[in-house]
Chains A and B, each alone.
Chain A
């Protein structure tokens, strides 16, 4: 044991370049795949942090066949609680749609970006949050009390103890006492509760109590013996009772979703937080596994590449009577030792790679993950498994030789017999590289496509201010903004593209028997100009025409959906006249097809959209905030940019694109390391041959061709294997998008050229060195 480590250490020191390549490759592989696997595990374990998570479910609703809402009716809670024997507790809560200002004292500026949860007393019975400080009373939150998340507690109070401190919340500066701080765990949740306030009776009473509505979130926790099927039966029975037959045309339905399904599988509207993407998680964890496979292959290649030096040691030991098992044990011990060293390095590298990732993409994959002890345990196990895997083949291979053969200098080099296995290993590496390169090209071209695609509107240069509902004189504010030389146009609306609000209404033509539910945009007459939406027929709204108060503008999809041939002048719902048609414009993520949409003339919306000329944007925003203070002294204007909002919609896709390309680069580096090992091995095995060929008149280019020919063939073979597979995978990802690029043939060529470039650059440099050696040296017999 001791000698094993001694020999391992001496080998490390004796071949510093080899060791560095090997150790570096292994630790980068361990670190990178660990990051990806932890990321995937975190995504997959979303919402599993709550106690009895599999007994928690959400009740959503649908009506008028609008496609389903995550939120449902406020009266549902009592119905569930008292009429359903399967349910242990039911809770109703709401998440503030607007930004609620939070202050420490009246003379301080407010913290923004906070969307409180208003939770009822049963909330903590369903969701078992643990606290970092303070305690949640058994009867839930009382009015005047507030619970914070750890990060918000830090944000407001730094390192002071927040418990018992008072926060002033909302425009009214309602004082609230902090009673508890929620612990932030490794497991994420689709609930993003940053600040929790009690759901007062008054607030609860304020929600509409009709069945075709969705305003609050209802979650239930089953009794240990309860089942969701039981809940469904009860709900169906109740539905018949509470909804009269005369209202059956509303098609009211309840949607029961187990908690753990929500993050990946819910496609309901009014979701609390954006959902996850399972394909993406699978892709990233596959990349993680690929990376570690690359690292293991590298290790195997590098160790066996050095075999001729090791052969002698092993041969000598064999002649002393060491058994094959002992020798194999030694080699496996060595690789275990090596992987442990690599693990120690990788602990640091995980941070370095995280920083690099942040530097390269501006995002963070795992962030400051609160890694737990168990993760380090996994890292250790993972590294040992890697070490074992990596050691097995060399142990088998190096000890297989008869001692006399391993001591003889030139006869029957082991490389010949095992060339096949090594070629397969390289083939695997090339295939992984090809698959990744291909995937990252496709993902990137899709993202590029999304960015460059005609959205039907001009996203750049549009500012949105969406907390204007408290403004005393919005028209005066608008006039002031319009006087600025930078401002091109302004528009009041109730819905912006890529925004969070949803509006839908039902329409029917004279010919239709049933209503059709369509997306609507309540906007004023400046909307088309400000957003850059193009009319394809008819005219824009005109505020001077009284008749336009009942006017509609349809997008082309709506025209098609309603089956109109001559839309201009037609009326919908009996009295609403269509005055114009616009080209389809995107307002949702590119994953979804542009829906049939109707713009309805509604002056005086809550959101002010401002189109400005380029340049000095920061100065303009500064001016805007100062001006806004006069009109709305309580809180700063909530300003966002339209193009940013669109980017937000594609954030998950961008994350995938960034992650794929970042780790593809890592994979390429790993493959290059592996190739270095293999080329060194090939050259070592062929030094004599290269010498002979030089004596026989081979030039350096001849030798380069000779050595790289096999590798070039392997790259083509690898492309042949990997590209169809990769194509299939990426194609499935692309199918998530309603608007997607076609995978062009060029990407295949491009991938192969990248492979060739990698292979030839590594092989070229190394072989050149070998080819320049004077053959006299390599042919010396003594």
Chain B
């Protein structure tokens, strides 16, 4: 599903390239549950952003479902990730001005899905995550765990093949964290490919594979 070839990312600091990622070669198959680990500043989030097509690599080739992402234009890329990728963030990144329902609905609006269909889809997922009762609340009225639940629901509403999660439990307590990881495991079992960035060995244990990053390189595989 994902094929990264010699991916590097650098920024210029005082005229010298400062490598964030160096020579990353990585294949991830459909149905895998991969955890990316590593100390702060090792490039985990940058790798995730590149995989999520939110950011460009400075060098290298990236094939997603056999499409050469590195040759695509911004618009085509956004078309691609809109369709296949869902994002979950550490800080949830819900829109404060919108209700739970509206937050979950937003991606569908940008995928030009009709109103009636949207209603059915949002109702489904609210039901599945057992947050129907919260649909008219605003994010600030929810606990962290509940907010993250909404965040995941929003990521899944478009039925993505790939779920990218950047420290999804980082702002949660351990019980809430466990619930989220159980949910991930369950989703993975249903066939969703998941890549998560995490600091926690325990969370990494939920996955089928662990990638260790150190100073922008893959340490062991």
A residues lining the B interface (CB < 8 Å)? 410-412, 416, 688-689, 691-693, 695-699, 702, 774-776, 779, 781
Contacts and interface: CB of A to CB of B under 8 A. Distances in A.
A691 to B, nearest CB: 8
Given A692-B93, A695-B87, A697-B78, A774 B111 contact: no
A120 to B, nearest CB: 79
26 contacts: A410-B91, A412-B140, A416-B96, A416-B97, A688-B93, A689-B95, A692-B94, A692-B95, A693-B95, A695-B52, A697-B78, A697-B81, A697-B110, A697-B158, A699-B75, A699-B110, A702-B110, A774-B55, A776-B49, A776-B54, A779-B89, A779-B91, A779-B93, A781-B89, A781-B90, A781-B91
Interface of B: 49, 52, 54-55, 75, 78, 81-82, 87, 89-91, 93-97, 106-107, 110-111, 140, 154, 158
A528 B94 CA distance: 82
Contacts of B91: 410, 779, 781
B55 A696 contact: no
Given A410-B91, A688-B93, 17 more contacts: A416-B96, A689-B96, A689-B97, A692-B93, A692-B95, A693-B95, A693-B110, A695-B87, A695-B93, A697-B81, A697-B107, A697-B111, A699-B78, A699-B110, A776-B54, A776-B55, A781-B89
Contacts of B54: 695, 774-776
Contacts of B90: 781
Contacts of A774: 54-55
Nearest to A691: B93
B98 to A, nearest CB: 9
A696 B94 CA distance: 11
A696 B106 contact: yes
| Most central of A692, A698, A702 by chain B CB within 10 Å | A692
Contacts of B75: 699
Contacts of B93: 688, 691-692, 695, 779
A781 B95 CA distance: 15
Contact of B110 (A698, A775, A776): A698
Contacts of B49: 776
A696 B107 contact: yes
A695 B54 CA distance: 7
5 nearest A-B pairs in the assembled complex, by CB-CB distance: A697-B82, A697-B110, A696-B107, A692-B93, A781-B91
A690 to B, nearest CB: 10
B20 to A, nearest CB: 12
A697 B77 CA distance: 10
Contacts of B110: 693, 696-699, 702
A779 B75 CA distance: 20
Contacts of A692: 93-95
Nearest to A413: B96
A411 B49 CA distance: 25
Nearest to B170: A781
Nearest to A781: B91
Contacts of A775: 54
A696 B87 CA distance: 8
Contacts of A699: 75, 78, 110
A702 B110 CA distance: 8
A435 to B, nearest CB: 31
A697 B105 CA distance: 12
A774 B56 CA distance: 10
Contacts of A696: 82, 87, 106-107, 110, 154
A413 B140 CA distance: 12
Contacts of A698: 110
A774 B154 CA distance: 20
A698 B154 CA distance: 14
Contacts of B111: 697
A351 B87 CA distance: 59
| Most central of A411, A698, A781 by chain B CB within 10 Å | A781
Contacts of B78: 697, 699
B106 to A, nearest CB: 5
A775 B140 CA distance: 22
B188 to A, nearest CB: 22
B167 to A, nearest CB: 9
A415 to B, nearest CB: 10
A732 to B, nearest CB: 44
A697 B87 CA distance: 11
Contacts of A411: 140
A248 to B, nearest CB: 83
A444 B32 CA distance: 72
Contacts of A695: 52, 54, 87, 93
Contacts of B97: 416, 689
Nearest to B140: A412
B106 A693 contact: yes
Nearest to B112: A697
B48 to A, nearest CB: 10
Contacts of B107: 696-697
Contacts of B158: 697
Contacts of B94: 692
Nearest to B82: A697
Contacts of B89: 779, 781
A699 B49 CA distance: 18
Contacts of A412: 140
Nearest to B92: A692
A698 B96 CA distance: 17
